[in-house]
Amino acid sequence: MHESLLTLLRCPFCGTRLSPVENHALTRHHGRIVSGVLGCECCAFPVVDSIPVLVADEASRAAIVALEDGRPDDARDLLLGLDAGRSAALRVLLGRPTPASYRELTAVLSPDAEGTYFVYRFSDPTFVMAEGVLRALGQNDALSASWLIDVCGGSGHLTRVLTHVQAASATPGPGTVLADVVFSKLWLASHLTAPACHPVCCDANHPLPFAGGVFSLAVLSDAFSYIWHKRLLAGELMRLTGPGGAVVMPHLHSALGWNYSAGMPLTPAAYAELFAALEPRLFRDADLLTALLDGDTVDLTAAVTPEAMGAENALTLVASADASLFRRYTVAPATAVSGALIVNPLYTVTRHERGSTLTLTFPTPEYADEFGGCRRYLPDTLEVAADLTAPIDPAALEHALGADYGGLRRRRVFIDAPRHYC
């Protein structure tokens, strides 16, 4: 963790500041605390692989013991929740000369259906919609002028968007925090998905471990339904954002609609009531996605009342005292490459004389069922006049494809992914 983060961090229990314990477990490197122990007036918390873990449970206590014993790799494996076999597999991957990919690391760290889904996160319709909303709001430099935070941000796919939005701002703030309770997701984010982010391990069912008013934008996407202490968390998100800041919650499951793994959803009226102090506005996810796909537009004038939301499955809430945010935005398709340009991992690639054939291939029938909406922009099959079985040089591909290149980027056939993603 960068030491500047200490100005933001507060104990989730006693609310006091945290400072590093100056003992032999403390390792610093170029202004960062790589490992060690943070103390407040009530507790001690480990920092492992540069990630502060502001959770008081058995694993974090065991991690402190391992750190003070001089075994930082054991502390990491404890927090990653690895058994002996997976711990050995991780050490093999990390000891290899070629960097391990997100897909390989996920197979060790999170070998379940959720882990599989996240490999394909960058093109699923929920992500496309949420990314569009953040890129639209990011056009307001004031929203990037302080710290940003992605709460319950998992392995950092949307956090990556926030770090790019902040970097592109005329007045970029000090950084983007990724908060999540699952250490392995934060570890993946900081190693691969969003290397520019500041990961903080914390439980969103407790008070969030940050000072008030220090964030200009707080995002919580596709996770609020799984939180039991919703009233507490809504209050916390509003406490974190300063005057003129915004709370953005893409993809809230509605209790009046239908959702895969719905969690514990509320009605649209109940979501709005939780943020009443900021007069939140609600938008239909389906409308937001359609406007993006059809016209590169995010229309934040098209708010819908809770009553008019009807049986819509999912909605997006934007809450801010700054009324000027609620306007119509044009979100130009992304053309830059910040990581590595790859063929969308939902395609299988077959090489032939004239180029490559791409075939849309869903990883599981369940994935196809839940995210098949991506067929609106991902063609079932297509021919591309280039060899796509080797690493892609974006400039050479653009030259080879001419006018088609922009369209294929826009449709997410090609993705600007983190380096070493697949």
Total residues interacting with Zn ion, rule: CB under 5 A: 6
- DSSP-assigned letters across all residues of 155-170: TSHHHHHHHHHHHHSS
Write b or e for each residue in 138-163: b if 16 or more Cβ atoms lie within 10 A of its Cβ, otherwise e.
bbbebbbbbbbbbbbbbbbbbbbbbb
Does 117 help bind Zn ion (rule: CB under 5 A)? no
Site string for Zn ion, 11-30 (x = CB under 5 A): x-xx----------------
Site string for Zn ion, 242-281 (x = CB under 5 A): ----------------------------------------
Question: Which helix or strand (DSSP H or E) is residue 68 part of?
Answer: helix 58-68
Which residue matches tokens 């990011």? 138
Q: Which residue is nearest to Zn ion (CB)?
A: 11
Quote the least distance from Cβ 208 to Zn ion, whole Å.
Answer: 14
Site string for Zn ion, 130-169 (x = CB under 5 A): ----------------------------------------
**By CB under 5 A, which span of 10-18, 110-118, 194-202, 377-385 interacts with Zn ion?**
10-18
Residue among 16 and 261 whose Cβ is closer to Zn ion? 16
Quote the least distance from Cβ 65 to Zn ion, whole Å.
Answer: 19
At 203, give phi and psi (nearest 5°). -105, 115
Contact criterion met (CB below 8 Å) for 225 and 152: no
Quote the least distance from Cβ 41 to Zn ion, whole Å.
Answer: 6
**By CB under 5 A, which span of 3-11, 107-115, 135-143, 363-371 interacts with Zn ion?**
3-11
Closest CA to 345 of 378, 369, 387: 378
Residue among 9 and 165 whose Cβ is closer to Zn ion? 9
Residues from 36 through 95 that contact Zn ion (CB under 5 A): 40, 42-43
Measure CA of the first residue to CA of the last residue in the chain; give whole Å: 26
E strand segments, 239-354: 241-253, 281-284, 297-299, 314-320, 328-330, 340-343, 347-352
E strand segments, 141-261: 147-151, 176-180, 198-201, 215-219, 241-253
Site string for Zn ion, 293-332 (x = CB under 5 A): ----------------------------------------
Binding positions for Zn ion, rule: CB under 5 A: 11, 13-14, 40, 42-43
